[in-house]
Amino acid sequence: LRVCLVKVGCFCVGLPLAPAQKRSLSLVTRGPSRAPTQLSPCGGRWAEDNKVNRLLIRKYLSDQPLELVEAEDGRKAVDLCRDVQPDIVLMDMSMPELDGVSATREIRALGIGQPTIVALTANAFESDRKACLSAGMDHFLSKPIDKNSLLQTLAALQVERMGV
């Protein structure tokens, strides 16, 4: 399984909030954490123009049996898909040279075995999700993304694509 990550950016927002009322704590308390997900061995390909985001995703996937290759923009992501033909591409919407939606359309027009394309973006409005899916992306994850969500998604995609 080859995975491409196409420019994953993130941002933080600080909001002043009142302390939670005791009765609402049950709504935000999470259950026991899930056991770590271990992916099956596979090759991966990924594009990212932000060094901090490359470091974060690399760290998230460092204990996984993945071989990752990075590109820095949407144009390089299309070229990477043409040359390497990855199984999965993690695609941001906002990139230099070629945005994620346009890059997805170009990848879908290539005469290659088509990858599963997952939007991994800070653009989390319903209109953004619809734009990604109508361009040909298969899945949509909004940022900030945590390690468990990323690994659970990749594991599910491995099962879906390869019957692992």
Q: What pLDDT digit, counting tens, does each position of 16-43 carry? A: 444 444 332 222 223 334 445 677 665 5
Mean pLDDT of 155-161: 81
Partnered with residue 77 across adjacent β-strands are: none
E strands, 1-80, in order: 3-6, 42-43, 46-47, 66-67, 70-71
Q: Which residue has the higher pLDDT, 161 or 131?
A: 131
Q: What percent of the chain has pLDDT over 90?
A: 21
Look-up of token digits 């204990």 = 63
pLDDT of residue 68: 72
pLDDT of residue 58: 82
Q: Which residue has the higher pLDDT, 144 or 103?
A: 103
Mean pLDDT of 91-98: 87
Q: Which of 162, 154, 163 is nearest to 39 (CA)?
A: 154
Q: Which of 154, 160, 161, 155 is nearest to 46 (CA)?
A: 154
pLDDT of residue 32: 38
